[in-house]
Structure 1
Amino acid sequence: MKAVRVHEYDEAPTLDDVPEPAVNGPHDVVVQVQGAGVCRTDLHIIEGQWRDKSGVRLPYVIGHENAGRVAEIGPAVTNVAVGDPVILHPLVTCGLCTACRAGDDVHCSASAFPGIDTDGGMAEYLLTSARSVVRLDPSLEPADVAALADAGLTAYHAVRKAAPRLRPGTTAVVIGAGGLGHIGVQALRALTATRIVVVDRSAEALELAAELGADETVLADGSQVARVLEATGGDGAHAVLDFVGEGGAIEDGIAMLRRAGGYFVIGYGGRLDVPTIDIISSEIDFIGNLVGTYNDLVELMALAASGRVRLHTVKYPLDRFAEALSDLGRGRVRGRAVLVP
């Protein structure tokens, strides 16, 4: 089969011929990939940012946002059948550790993460587990929702964590309305009654955010902090969801936060440097977000099937993966890029 593989860090991946995966264990599921999301994390992997954290051995297949149809199942698989359309939770989890038994499977102590620390889904087929597959509603096409497996899941997970503090009369600021942020806006609209203020450098992204439910949009032209503070009566937001995490977004986000507010870190690449006296004197919280649970993904698919979350995608054939990566890196993708094998 054809697969996009990283051979060396800081070098372009290549489209290679590799063996198709096969069922080896009783709970294995082989999926024919019909959509593989292209994520900024893929760019970070190629750059070597995940070199030490993932411990993966090169070469390997990237791609961690995957959906398709079941091609083969192990003898103990009962939740899906061959031919079923599915989206894949990004982790393959054990189901036996404390985190899995508590429903916090994103922190499974014995997980594999296809596309990060083992072969992923920018390929024609992908090996996963019965614990990772979510059967799709017939109204949903795998290629249309594939990127919800990580981008959507991460955004939804962050919003779920922020939701308890976002009661009516509160304000949430979304920094970055791109591939993750535009889903975060929809999740906030679906789960809360908060006022949503979106900050972005792109007027086009802000236009999309307004279409998807943002109450107010702010162009990041240097006046964004002052405008958010003005919009909140000088107090700041109850929650800031930062989908950028670099390039000044962190400093802006903290400055937009009110006392006892919560700063939800979703994007990454920068560094968080806050004097501890500022943290204790204002009792602000910093909350990290790593994808989401299997149940989060099930709930997100229910929202997608009901039309309350829509993923804006740009589709590319698998052999145009380099173009998709380049377009993402240059900021040319509106919403999410998806490879279609």
Structure 2
Amino acid sequence: MKAAVLYEFDPSLTSPQYVRYEEVPDPRIEKTTDVIVRIGGAGVCRTDLHIVEGIWRDKANVQLPYIMGHENAGWVEEVGSGVEGIKVGDPVICHPLVTSGHCLACRRGDDMHATDSKFPGINTNGGYAEYLLTGARSLIKLPASLTPKDVAPYTDAGLTAYRAAKKASRHLLPGEYAVVIGVGGLGHIGVQVLAALCAAEIIAVDRSDMALGLAKECGAHHLVKSDRTEVDQILALTGGRGAEAVIDFVGEGDAVAKGLAMTRNGGFYYIVGYGGKVEIPTIEMITSEKTIVGNLVGTYPELVELMALADRGLVKLATREYRLEQANEALHDLHHGKVKGRAVLIP
């Protein structure tokens, strides 16, 4: 099969070629519960750029060369002898983690904390290829209204945004405010989920006019340009109190400090993006009673819920399509902020 293969790290992201498009061996069924999916679309994520930088080399024990791509959807190509309920030809979306289902975390539905798991595209070969090896319990059949290339980024970008926005929606009331910092690939989905699940006023914050325009299309009530005055603008919009919930899809640079400053006393700061540090004096934590919440992808049931929203047209992905052989172009466009919404590779 053809695949876009990562051979070496590039900490500065200056190489004209991050991956090589070449012929590699097809994946093979190894366990009775294995499934091979013919890729219909593979999302291009900022995490892929972090992998190229080498940030994940110790965290996930990445062994080069390997194939990136952790946002995948397609059609079932082959199934193991123990697979039931899924047949060849079924259109499916892949939960990003492949787990056995036997550990306590799995039985509780928290697959992302499983003691025995694989994460295609992170610590094993992913979907920047024609075929992907995954597991039967990771697959969700797609309704007729949804096609693989249009939904692939939901498996991480969508699912992570959904998990954070769902948490926030549980305590947001009419007349309250939710701030979304960074309304690109993940954030534009977060805005739509908030709009679907609660009645709070949504404030979108970004430095990109293109991203802010997308946020408006997705249902944001207020747009704030990130230009060093965004904290003051948020305070002005919220009557000086700050927002009841702030979802930070950036998580690096000065976004963290600003996000905490935008959060009202007793409010919730949800951190999704990474690369920076959360630094707050303990006395500030005590006197403000702010809650800081980390967010890691999402569960299988949450991906089912997100597909239900997509099926009803309440959440839509903005995507830009690239051929698999254009993987380097897609990664560079993402790095330089040229992608509106989410890039998707199509074999």
Fold-level similarity (TM above 0.5): yes
Measured against aligned partners, the alpha-carbon deviations of 1:185-227 in whole angstroms (never above 9, x if no partner) come to 0000111111101111112211111111111111112211101
Aligned equivalent of 1:228: 234
TM-superposed deviation, 1:81:
0.8
Q: In the alignment, residue 221 of structure 2 is paired with which amino acid?
A: D
TM-superposed deviation, 1:68:
0.4
Aligned equivalent of 2:115: 109
Q: Distance in 1 between matches of 2:6 and 2:240?
A: 48
Aligned equivalent of 1:249: 255
TM-superposed deviation, 1:112:
0.5
TM-superposed deviation, 1:250:
0.8
Q: 1:123 and 2:136 equivalent?
A: no
TM-superposed deviation, 1:79:
2.4
Measured against aligned partners, the alpha-carbon deviations of 1:102-137 in whole angstroms (never above 9, x if no partner) come to 111121111110000011110000000011011001
Q: 1:53 and 2:59 equivalent?
A: yes
Q: 1:4 and 2:10 equivalent?
A: no
Q: Distance in 2 between matches of 1:14 and 1:88?
A: 24
Measured against aligned partners, the alpha-carbon deviations of 1:290-322 in whole angstroms (never above 9, x if no partner) come to 110001101101111111000000000000100
Q: Distance in 1 between matches of 2:113 and 2:197?
A: 24
TM-superposed deviation, 1:15:
1.5
TM-superposed deviation, 1:169:
1.9
Aligned equivalent of 2:103: 97
Q: Distance in 2 between matches of 1:76 and 1:162?
A: 39
Q: In the alignment, residue 91 of structure 2 is paired with which amino acid?
A: P
Q: Distance in 2 between matches of 1:202 and 1:111?
A: 37
Q: Distance in 1 between matches of 2:212 and 2:108?
A: 38
Aligned equivalent of 2:346: 340
Runs of 4+ in 1 over 2 A off after TM superposition: none
Q: Distance in 2 between matches of 1:273 and 1:79?
A: 48
Q: Distance in 1 between matches of 2:233 and 2:323?
A: 42
Q: Distance in 2 between matches of 1:255 and 1:282?
A: 11
Q: In the alignment, residue 148 of structure 1 is paired with which amino acid?
A: Y
Aligned equivalent of 2:165: 159
The CA RMSD over aligned residues, in Å, is 0.9
User: 1:210 pairs with 190, 194, 216, which one?
Assistant: 216
Q: Distance in 2 between matches of 1:283 and 1:289?
A: 19
TM-superposed deviation, 1:253:
0.6
The alignment covers a number of residue pairs equal to: 341
TM-superposed deviation, 1:146:
0.5
Q: Distance in 2 between matches of 1:200 and 1:67?
A: 29
Q: Which 5+ residue runs of structure 2 have no aligned equivalent?
A: none
Measured against aligned partners, the alpha-carbon deviations of 1:236-288 in whole angstroms (never above 9, x if no partner) come to 00110001111211111111010111110111111111111111111111111
Aligned equivalent of 1:26: 32
Q: Distance in 2 between matches of 1:129 and 1:305?
A: 24
Q: Which stretch has the larger CA shift, 67-76 or 13-22?
A: 13-22
Aligned equivalent of 2:292: 286
Q: Distance in 2 between matches of 1:87 and 1:169?
A: 36
Aligned equivalent of 2:301: 295
Q: What is the correspondence of 1:297-316 to structure 2 with a 5 Å cutoff?
A: 297-316=303-322
Give the TM-score of the pair, scaled to structure 1. Answer: 0.98
Measured against aligned partners, the alpha-carbon deviations of 1:13-43 in whole angstroms (never above 9, x if no partner) come to 2122111112121111100001000000000
Q: In the alignment, residue 213 of structure 1 is paired with which amino acid?
A: G
Q: 1:174 and 2:174 equivalent?
A: no
Q: Distance in 1 between matches of 2:244 and 2:291?
A: 11
Q: Which 5+ residue runs of structure 1 have no aligned equivalent?
A: none
Q: Which stretch has the larger CA shift, 280-289 or 318-327?
A: 280-289
Q: Distance in 2 between matches of 1:79 and 1:106?
A: 23
Q: Distance in 2 between matches of 1:181 and 1:44?
A: 18
Identical pairs, percent? 58
Q: Distance in 2 between matches of 1:5 and 1:339?
A: 13
Q: 1:72 and 2:87 equivalent?
A: no
Q: Which stretch has the larger CA shift, 136-145 or 215-224?
A: 215-224
SS in 2 for 1:54: coil
Q: Distance in 2 between matches of 1:123 and 1:174?
A: 33
Q: Which stretch has the larger CA shift, 13-22 or 304-313?
A: 13-22
Measured against aligned partners, the alpha-carbon deviations of 1:173-192 in whole angstroms (never above 9, x if no partner) come to 00011000000000001111
